[in-house]
């Protein structure tokens, strides 16, 4: 029996020797753990390379006892709890003074996988794990604060009927434009709303966007147009200018070659990458 001072078992700086012991004698690990020995038991040393993780949301204050790692899940993923638990553990190691809770918000209840040990954790009310559903959260929010901006921001996710959404999109867009919020905060809400709407309908031109995004009938006032479509137009203009320059360089080289001012080797080596670049611009 190990004494309180730990004299019976000397402290070890690492577990290398234990790894060597049980890798070469896997049956002894079963003996130590009181498990039934099985022929296909393996004892290995494995390196987990993908240890760097980014959580969607870490929610806490410096003075609070609790912290929450929030994952918002919008598609089926059988490993969502595994990834979330890794993030929860890593955050807990950085903030050992806090009780770190993993919160997974599913955009659709069908996206929630059934996997252990989280099924058991959730059924037994483990306080380190929470599962929530966006539809229920928004219904509760609407009951408490029917004019909350989030109800408009997330309308493209919650209004299932496409035609209803097309009809109501301008209403939600106007709500966000007229919200009594700081300009930067309002801009971020509009960006998310417009991005969700464009993704939902796969929109890409002014005619489709105008009825839904333009608060005053002018789509160019929308954040989406200003930061996405306008950027595309600028890139297109730049690409056109580059193509003109390349064509000019090619013509100069062809003229120099025809006049015998450069040799064939130099001409071929110089003109080949220019022609390749031009093809890529025209195809892209």
Q: What is the DSSP string of 21-46?
A: HHHH-HHHHHHHHTPPP-TT------
Domain around 243: 239-283
Question: Could you report the per-residue pLDDT of 141-160, keeping only the tens digit for each?
Answer: 989 988 898 989 889 888 88
> 85 with 102: CB under 8 angstroms?
yes
Domain shared by 98 and 164, yes or no: no
**160 found inside a domain:** yes
**Structural domains counted in the chain:** 4
Domain shared by 111 and 180, yes or no: no
Kindly state the average pLDDT of the residues 180-195.
84
Which of 132, 119, 200, 210 lies closest to 161, judged by CA? 200
Token pair listed for 59: 């929610």
Domain shared by 27 and 84, yes or no: no
**182 found inside a domain:** yes
Question: Could you report the per-residue pLDDT of 207-257, keeping only the tens digit for each?
Answer: 566 667 665 445 555 665 565 555 455 455 445 656 776 787 787 778 777
Domain shared by 132 and 64, yes or no: yes
**247 found inside a domain:** yes
**234 found inside a domain:** no
Say whether 132 sits in a helix, a strand or coil.
strand
**89 found inside a domain:** yes
The last residue of a domain, from among 74, 107, 139: 139
The whole-angstrom separation of Cα 77 and Cα 227 is 31
The last residue of a domain, from among 106, 139, 172: 139
Domain shared by 153 and 222, yes or no: yes
The last residue of a domain, from among 102, 121, 139: 139
**202 found inside a domain:** yes
Q: Is the pLDDT of residue 50 over 70?
A: no
- pTM surpassing 0.85? no
Rg (CA), the chain: 30
CA distances from 61 to 66, 104, 108, 282 (A): 8, 20, 29, 52
């Amino acid at each position: 029996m190990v004494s309180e001072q730990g004299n019976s078992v000397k402290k070890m700086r690492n577990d290398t020797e234990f790894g060597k012991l049980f890798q070469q004698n896997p049956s002894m690990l079963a003996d130590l753990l009181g498990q039934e020995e099985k022929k296909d038991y393996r004892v290995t040393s494995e390196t987990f390379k993908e240890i760097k993780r980014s959580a969607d949301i870490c929610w806490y204050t410096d003075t609070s006892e609790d912290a929450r790692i929030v994952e918002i899940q919008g598609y089926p993923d059988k490993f969502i709890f595994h990834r979330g638990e890794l993030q929860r553990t890593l955050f807990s190691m950085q903030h050992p003074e806090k009780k770190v809770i993993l919160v997974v918000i599913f955009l659709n209840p069908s996206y929630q996988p059934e996997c252990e040990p989280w099924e058991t954790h959730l059924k037994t009310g483990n306080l380190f794990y929470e599962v929530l559903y966006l539809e229920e959260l928004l219904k509760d929010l609407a009951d408490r604060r029917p004019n909350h901006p989030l109800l408009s921001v997330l309308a493209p996710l919650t209004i299932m009927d496409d035609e209803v959404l097309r009809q109501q999109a301008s209403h939600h867009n106007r709500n966000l434009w007229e919200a009594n919020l700081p300009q930067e905060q309002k801009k971020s809400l509009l960006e998310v709303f417009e991005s969700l709407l464009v993704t939902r309908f796969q929109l890409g031109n002014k005619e489709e966007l105008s009825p839904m995004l333009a608060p005053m009938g002018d789509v160019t006032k929308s954040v989406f147009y200003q930061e996405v479509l306008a950027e595309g137009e600028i890139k297109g203009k730049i690409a056109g200018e580059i193509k003109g320059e390349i064509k000019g360089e090619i013509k100069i080289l062809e003229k120099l070659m025809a006049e015998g001012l450069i040799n064939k080797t130099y001409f071929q080596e110089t003109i080949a990458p220019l022609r390749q670049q031009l093809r890529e611009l025209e195809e892209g």
